[in-house]
């Protein structure tokens, strides 16, 4: 089973190895620095449980769980 | 040199682009929309060392991919309008991601100067940036600045001039995309050399875009037919699609350069922003804090400040200006109809809408502070899950809530939504959020017809409005605005204290927009209404004999299936399009009551034509039907389209009629 960003626990680190899918969502993620080899840290969940907030390349990024599921983690 | 030169300002959102733009151009700037779209276009003039410059503020973007309107605008402007220099503002405290856009800008082939902003913040966080080395590794001038303190602006403009006067040879380094990809780029460049349309552009950039299968570029080069062949060649031996590979390599390249030029702090300590977020977006405290902030905004806008001024402005127009105009008109011997047109029609009509100006200013003041401080992004973060249920993003929440105050600023607030489909949906359903102008109608009707259950009746109307808005948003997203929308992948920028200047500019630009555009429409509509309510075909007439009454009699049958097919109700609804609260005052006039009747008087007079049920149905109709001219004006302004404006006018009428019909029929069935 591949591990995705969605599977990371709170305050856990991971290294990105691939983004699945294509089109605007993937492109947007890459533009925001979600690319292969980058460390990502899960900061918190929104009060309603979704989206999540991660630290990547030294800044805070928020994304929905359905999109986090496309990001494969080592 | 007498020729004016053009500087294009590009950069990430939250990188201080607006601050730099204001620092460069001062107050001398012009705000409009980019042709055909509703993305703000700002332009300003500046003079430096006797040179004239025009600065164009491009939309803030993270990238130049062709997926969002902002990114297309920025890219097309640089490629097609050929500014003399592109000034790329880079947030030094977030340099890695910011440089990604820089690399894309450099690839476009136009001279780029990097303004390394927020050096102070970066240093405070422990970053040490060797900007000279950075400049030599990128092959692009890099000037450290602090835009908020106007530090380094002259150095920046010196570099711009050096490039224009060719004192610096501009030779940017290229990203190395690796053997395989570079080979493909070479091949594509060779192929493009034979394409006559390609000669205007930077070939390496075009080649990259062709390989990434950028549709706009393929169209431009008429390459669609060639595509199959190339796509087949592409698949060989590449582990990911080219788009992903290009992004990977770019970031790798940036990481490489930064490892030689930036010393990162050894231990990451929590920034102030992180500490604030620990509380503000906390699992338990996040929602209560948000509710408290929303309540404060409302209290501030509508109770504390807004309504005090509201009365003042009302009195100012109704007494001071009217009296002054009356006297002036009498002195010059103006005829009675001109007197009436100016005093009752124009001053009354425009004044009636301008009374909302303080509310609008307050609301924008509050929104601007929330936006500039960085809290707005957190609202989207907190509310996204709830908003997604109706197919909208978390960013649409604030405009919806603001609608309870006044739909005009609320609709202007939808500018925060980057996706055009989301934005149109949010605009079209916004008027269902019951604005404060509709409240006087409910209060009087509820007091007259439901003396014991006023609160429940009024509350039920607010709920109905929300319910209809949700249903309609859902329907729109499933029909008119189907398809892929922008993903919710958003930066949570660090909190900062908003600057007074920034806020003032922000508020003024929005208020000015409302005054000018909505103002002209309201002005025209006031004159038309004055005419139809004061005249008939043989000359001046009483309200009951006017063209308006005549229209009321014609349209009344439309409302018969709703239970209130009398001309007085119909006419009040027609006039309510000027401003919703007018429905009450016009009904009072028609029934020969004082302008501010008591609930008891109102109940007696209207009792002949309304039952409890039809009174409720009437309120439902007032809640949902065609928005007032102020809102119509702002919808036109914000959608930039008469088609959507017309659609909004019509569909709301239809929705109002259908819902009112349902309520009436069901009510009758249950014997109310």
Q: Which tokens in the block code for residue B98? A: 């910011």
The answer to whether A64 contacts B62, with C-beta atoms less than 8 Å apart, is no
Q: For residue A26, what is the nearest residue in chain B, using CA coordinates? A: B244
Residue of B nearest to A58 (CA): B94
- Nearest by CB to A28, which of B284, B487, B493? B487
Put simply, the answer to whether A35 touches B491 (Cβ < 8 Å) is no
Phi, psi of B144 (to 5 degrees): -70, 135
Q: Touching check for A13 and chain B: CB below 8 Å?
A: no
Residue B170: name the closest of B103, B112, B257 by CA: B112
CA of A73, closest CA in chain B: separation in Å? Answer: 16
ipTM of the complex: 0.96
Q: Give the angle B27-B32-B35 at the CA atoms, nearest 5°.
A: 150
pLDDT, tens only, B282-337: 999 999 999 999 888 878 876 777 667 767 777 787 788 888 888 888 888 888 88
The answer to whether A47 contacts B282, with C-beta atoms less than 8 Å apart, is: yes
B43 is in an annotated binding site: no
Q: Do A31 and B492 touch (CB under 8 A)?
A: no
Q: Is B645 annotated as a binding residue?
A: no
SS3 content of chain B, % helix, strand, coil (to 5): 65, 10, 25
Across the interface, whether the CB atoms of B381 and A51 are under 8 A apart is answered yes
* Residue pairs spanning A and B at CB distance below 8 A: 123
Supply the CATH number for residue A16's domain: 2.30.30.90
Please indicate if the annotation marks B291 as binding a ligand. no
Over residues B110-169, the pLDDT tens digits come to 999 999 999 999 998 889 999 999 999 999 999 999 999 999 999 999 999 999 999 988
Of A19, A32, A58, the CB nearest to B244: A19
Q: Which of B385, B387, B484 to mutate to test the interface with A (most CBs of A within 10 A)?
A: B385
Q: Interior CA angle at B483 toward B477 and B489, to 5°?
A: 90
Is A62 an interface residue toward B (CB < 8 Å)?
yes
B248 pLDDT tier (thresholds 50, 70, 90):
very high
pLDDT at B39 over 80: no
B36 is an annotated ligand-binding site residue: yes
Residue B224's pLDDT is what? 65
Q: Which residues of B touch A59 (CB under 8 A)?
A: 94, 97, 491
CATH architecture of structural domain B5-165: 3-Layer(aba) Sandwich (3.40)
Q: Which of B30-39, B132-141, B619-628 has the lowest mean pLDDT?
A: B30-39
Q: Where are the domains of chain B?
A: 5-165, 179-236
Q: Torsion angle, CA of B23/B25/B28/B29, rounded to 10 degrees?
A: -100
Give the rounded percent of residues in chain B with a pLDDT score beyond 70: 93
Global confidence as pTM = 0.84
Please count the structural domains in chain A: 1
A18:B65 CB<8 A: no
Query: Per the CB < 8 Å rule, is A53 touching B63?
Result: no
Nearest CA-CA partner of A5 in A41, A33, A30? A41
User: What are the pLDDT digits (tens) for A10-62?
Assistant: 999 999 999 998 788 898 999 999 999 999 999 999 999 999 999 999 899 99
The mean-pLDDT minimum among B185-189, B524-528, B530-534 falls in B524-528
**B130 vs chain A: nearest CA distance in angstroms?**
18
B18 a known binding residue? yes
For residues B190-201, average pLDDT: 88
Q: Which residues of B touch A47 (CB under 8 A)?
A: 281-284, 286-287, 382
Cβ of A61 and B247 within 8 Å? Answer: no
Confidence of residue B268 (pLDDT cuts 50, 70, 90): low
Average pLDDT over residues B205-232: 77
Using a CB-CB distance cutoff of 8 angstroms, which residues of chain A are in contact with residue B374? none
Contact residues, chain B, for A67 at CB < 8 Å: 487-489
Give me the pLDDT at residue B473, please: 93
B385/A46 Cβ within 8 A? yes
Structure-model confidence comparison of residues B3 and B370, the more confident one: B370
C-beta separation of B248 from A36 below 8 A = yes
Question: Does residue B237 have a pLDDT over 90?
Answer: no
Positive/negative CA dihedral, B325, B328, B331, B335: negative
Q: Cβ A67–B385 below 8 Å, yes or no?
A: no
Closest alpha carbon to B551 in B585, B521, B528:
B528
Asked if A10 reaches chain B (Cβ–Cβ under 8 Å), the answer is no
Helix ranges (H only) for B41-124 are: 69-81, 95-107, 119-124
What angle (nearest 5°) sits at the alpha carbon of residue B499, between those of residues B498 and B505?
Answer: 110
Residue A36's domain comprises 5-73
């Amino acid at each position: 089973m591949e591990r995705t960003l969605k599977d990371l626990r709170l305050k856990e680190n991971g290294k990105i190895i691939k983004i699945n899918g294509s089109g605007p969502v993937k492109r947007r993620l890459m533009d925001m620095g979600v690319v292969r080899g980058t460390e990502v840290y899960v900061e918190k969940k929104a009060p309603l449980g979704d989206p999540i907030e991660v630290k990547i390349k030294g800044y805070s990024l928020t994304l929905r769980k359905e999109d986090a599921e496309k990001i494969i983690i080592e | 040199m007498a020729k004016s030169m053009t500087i294009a300002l590009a950069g990430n959102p939250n990188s201080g682009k607006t601050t730099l733009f204001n620092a460069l151009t001062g107050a001398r700037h012009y705000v409009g929309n980019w042709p055909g779209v509703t993305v703000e276009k700002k332009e300003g003039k500046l003079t430096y060392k006797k040179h004239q410059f025009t600065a164009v503020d491009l939309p803030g973007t993270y990238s130049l991919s062709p997926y969002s309107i902002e990114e297309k605008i920025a890219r097309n402007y640089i490629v097609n309008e050929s500014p003399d220099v592109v000034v790329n503002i880079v947030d030094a405290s977030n340099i890695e991601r910011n440089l990604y856009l820089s690399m894309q800008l450099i690839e476009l082939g136009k001279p780029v100067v990097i303004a390394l902003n927020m050096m102070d913040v970066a240093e405070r966080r422990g970053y040490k940036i060797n900007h000279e080395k950075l400049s030599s590794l990128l092959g692009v001038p890099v000037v450290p600045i602090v835009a908020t303190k106007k530090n380094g602006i002259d150095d920046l403009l010196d570099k711009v001039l050096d490039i224009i006067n060719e004192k610096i040879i501009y030779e940017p380094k290229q990203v190395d995309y690796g053997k395989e990809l570079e080979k493909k780029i070479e091949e594509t460049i060779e192929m493009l050399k034979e394409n006559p349309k390609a000669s205007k552009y930077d070939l390496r950039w075009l080649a990259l875009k062709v390989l990434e299968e950028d549709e706009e570029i393929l169209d431009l080069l008429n390459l669609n037919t060639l595509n199959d062949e190339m796509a087949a060649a592409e698949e060989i031996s590449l582990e990911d699609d080219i788009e992903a590979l290009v992004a990977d390599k770019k970031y790798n390249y940036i990481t490489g350069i930064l490892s030689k030029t930036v010393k990162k702090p050894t231990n990451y300590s929590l920034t102030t922003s992180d500490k604030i977020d620990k509380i503000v977006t906390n699992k338990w405290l996040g929602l209560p804090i948000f509710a408290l902030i929303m309540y404060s905004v409302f209290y501030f806008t509508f109770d504390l400040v807004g309504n005090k001024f509201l009365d003042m402005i009302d009195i100012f127009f109704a007494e001071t200006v009217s009296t002054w105009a009356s006297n002036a008109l009498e002195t010059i011997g103006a005829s009675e109809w001109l007197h009436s047109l100016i005093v009752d029609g124009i001053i009354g009509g425009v004044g009636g809408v301008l009374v909302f100006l303080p509310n609008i200013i307050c609301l924008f003041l509050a929104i601007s502070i929330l936006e500039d401080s960085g809290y707005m992004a957190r609202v989207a973060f907190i509310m996204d899950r709830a908003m997604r249920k109706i197919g909208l993003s978390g960013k649409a929440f604030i405009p919806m809530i603001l609608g309870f105050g006044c739909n005009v600023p609320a609709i202007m607030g939808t500018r925060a939504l980057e996706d055009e489909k989301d934005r149109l949906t949010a605009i079209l359903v916004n008027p269902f959020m019951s604005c404060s102008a509709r409240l006087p109608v409910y209060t009087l009707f509820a007091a007259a017809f439901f003396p014991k259950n006023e609160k429940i009746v009024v509350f039920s109307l607010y709920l109905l409005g929300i319910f209809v808005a949700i249903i309609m948003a859902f329907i729109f997203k499933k029909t008119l605005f189907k398809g892929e929308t922008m993903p919710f992948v958003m930066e949570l920028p660090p909190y900062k204290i908003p600057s007074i200047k920034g806020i003032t500019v922000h508020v003024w630009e929005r208020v000015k927009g409302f005054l000018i555009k909505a103002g002209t429409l309201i002005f025209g509509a006031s004159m038309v209404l004055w005419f139809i309510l004061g005249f008939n075909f043989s000359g001046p007439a009483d309200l009951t004999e006017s063209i308006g009454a005549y229209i009321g009699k014609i349209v009344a049958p439309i409302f018969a299936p709703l239970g209130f097919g009398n001309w007085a109700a119909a006419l009040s609804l027609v006039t309510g399009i000027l401003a919703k609260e007018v429905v009450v005052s016009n009904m009072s006039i028609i029934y020969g009551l004082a302008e501010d009747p008591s609930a008891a008087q109102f109940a007696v007079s209207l009792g002949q034509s309304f039952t409890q049920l039809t009174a409720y149905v009437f309120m439902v109709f007032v809640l949902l039907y065609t928005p007032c001219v102020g809102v119509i004006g702002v919808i036109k302004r914000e959608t930039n389209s008469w088609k959507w404006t017309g659609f909004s006018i019509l569909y709301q009428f239809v929705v109002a009629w259908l819902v009112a019909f349902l309520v009436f029929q069901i009510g009758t069935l249950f014997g109310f």
